[in-house]
Amino acid sequence: DAGVIQSPRHEVTEMGQEVTLRCKPISGHNSLFWYRQTMMRGLELLIYFNNNVPIDDSGMPEDRFSAKMPNASFSTLKIQPSEPRDSAVYFCASTSQGGSTDTQYFGPGTRLTVL
């Protein structure tokens, strides 16, 4: 299995631009998570989906952030408009079954820099 796939791996953009991050979970997994990692705030859960339905988006910072999961094999995290404080590494993770004992499998992350 290829693991969780994220694209792009690196993104540099200017303030005000729209940014779209993409994630392909492991085939057969039915839960997907988006995290943000910064030095100041550590690892934060932004949103998670179960069977393509958003279950908890309380971690989404503000209306500039939105996430979709149109099907079981693809999800996007969009920031519009982007700001310099959005600079971070964004991780996608997936898991199966949905139980508390399950392992989350992380992608390699997208390093976002907003100038």
Partner 1 sequence: GDSVTQMEGPVTLSEEACLTINCTYTATGYPSLFWYVQYPGEGLQLLLKATKADDKGSNKGFEATYRKETTSFHLEKGSVQVSDSAVYFCALSNAGNMLTFGGGTRLMVKP
For partner 1, the closer of residues 71 and 101 by Cβ is 101
Question: What's the angle, vertex CA 75, arms to CA 36 and CA 23, rounded to 5?
Answer: 65
Figure out which of the listed residues 5, 13, 22, 45 binds partner 1, where binding follows CB under 8 A: 45
Tell the smallest beta-carbon distance from residue 93 to partner 1 (Å). Answer: 8
Stretch that binds partner 1, among 15-23, 40-48, 69-77, 78-86 (CB under 8 A): 40-48
Give me the 8-27 binding string for partner 1, x by CB under 8 A, dash otherwise.
--------------------
Tell the smallest beta-carbon distance from residue 49 to partner 1 (Å). Answer: 11
Q: How far is CA 79 from the centre of its chain?
A: 11
Q: How far is CA 64 from the centre of its chain?
A: 14
- Regarding 107 and contact with partner 1 (CB under 8 A), the answer is yes
- Regarding 58 and contact with partner 1 (CB under 8 A), the answer is no
Q: Count, in order, helices (H) and strands (E) of the chain.
A: 0, 11
Q: Which residues bind partner 1 (CB under 8 A)?
A: 4, 31, 33, 42-43, 45, 48, 56, 91, 93, 95, 97-109
